[in-house]
């Protein structure tokens, strides 16, 4: 009986002591999580296949090569060069047929060279079907440079256009040194078109999918 009373008293005291701690607010909790695939201090080289499908008259497959130097896990600087060719879509071919005989006044993408930065504020992981955990990041890109285009009109003029290129992308890490990279990019060109002796603003919005290869981490042999 005495043992039971002592146990009850200790239990009550313990409960009271626990209650006196109160509730923890979010500001009192710090979660420390080690990044499994860090990017800081590493060089990333990427090969990307893309398409620009949103032009009214052209569909443009393209190839992009990228190099990024990661200053930290959240920031990098880099360069990207690419080339492609605008193919006439159904609308453009219909207008150019004998029925209409009209060649659209459109410019096809031939190449670009851009430099800029990436900011990656998000690093996360998700569970795929309970079988695998995939680590990924989300980044915003800001780049600038030049693009080369040519009119689809026979003997059409070339245009070397200053270009601003914002982008949004993600990396799905496949392993220590490899990632699948997907990016939505919108190139905004300021073109001087010799055929009409005028300036025009054009958008080359597209999506790229490719592989990135990272240099080895310095903290590992």
Domains of the chain with CATH codes: 37-214 (2.40.160.20)
Q: What is the pLDDT of residue 172?
A: 96
Q: Is 150 exposed, middle or buried (0-12, 13-18, 19+ CB in 10 A)?
A: middle
The pLDDT, as a whole number, for residue 25 is 62
Model pTM score: 0.80
Lowest mean pLDDT among 27-41, 57-71, 117-131, 138-152: 27-41
Other C-beta atoms lying within 10 Å of the C-beta of residue 143: 22
**What CA–CA distance (Å, rounded) separates 61 from 57?**
14
Mean pLDDT of 93-121: 89
Confidence class for position 1, pLDDT limits 50, 70, 90: low
Percent of the chain residues topping a pLDDT of 70: 83
Q: How far is CA 48 from CA 110, 117, 160, 189, in A?
A: 16, 17, 23, 21
Residue 76 has pLDDT above 90, yes or no: yes
Rounded to an integer, the average pLDDT of 183-207 is 93
pLDDT of residue 122: 94
Q: Residue 19: pLDDT above 50?
A: no
Q: Please list the residues that pair with 161 across neighbouring strands.
A: 147
Given the structure tokens 């600038």, which residue do they identify? 144
């Amino acid at each position: 009986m005495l043992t039971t009373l002592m146990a009850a008293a200790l239990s009550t005291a313990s409960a009271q002591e626990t209650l006196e701690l109160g509730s923890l607010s979010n500001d009192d909790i710090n979660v420390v999580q080690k990044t499994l695939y860090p990017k800081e201090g590493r060089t990333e080289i990427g090969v990307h296949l893309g398409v620009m499908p949103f032009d009214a008259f052209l569909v443009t497959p393209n190839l992009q090569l990228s190099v990024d130097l990661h200053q930290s896990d959240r920031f990098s600087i880099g360069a990207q060069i690419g080339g492609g060719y605008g193919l006439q879509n159904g609308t453009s071919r219909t207008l150019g047929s004998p029925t209409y005989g009209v060649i659209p006044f459109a410019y096809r993408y031939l190449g670009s060279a851009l430099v800029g930065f990436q900011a990656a504020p998000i690093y996360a992981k998700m569970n795929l079907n309970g079988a695998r955990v995939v680590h990924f990041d989300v980044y915003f890109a800001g780049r600038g440079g030049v693009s080369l285009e040519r009119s689809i009109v026979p003997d059409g003029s070339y245009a070397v256009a200053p270009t601003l290129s914002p982008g949004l992308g993600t990396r799905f890490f496949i392993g220590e040194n490899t990632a699948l990279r997907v990016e939505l990019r919108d190139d905004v060109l300021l073109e001087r078109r010799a055929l009409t002796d005028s300036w025009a603003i054009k958008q080359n919005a597209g999506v790229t999918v490719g592989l990135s290869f990272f240099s080895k981490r310095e903290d590992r042999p």
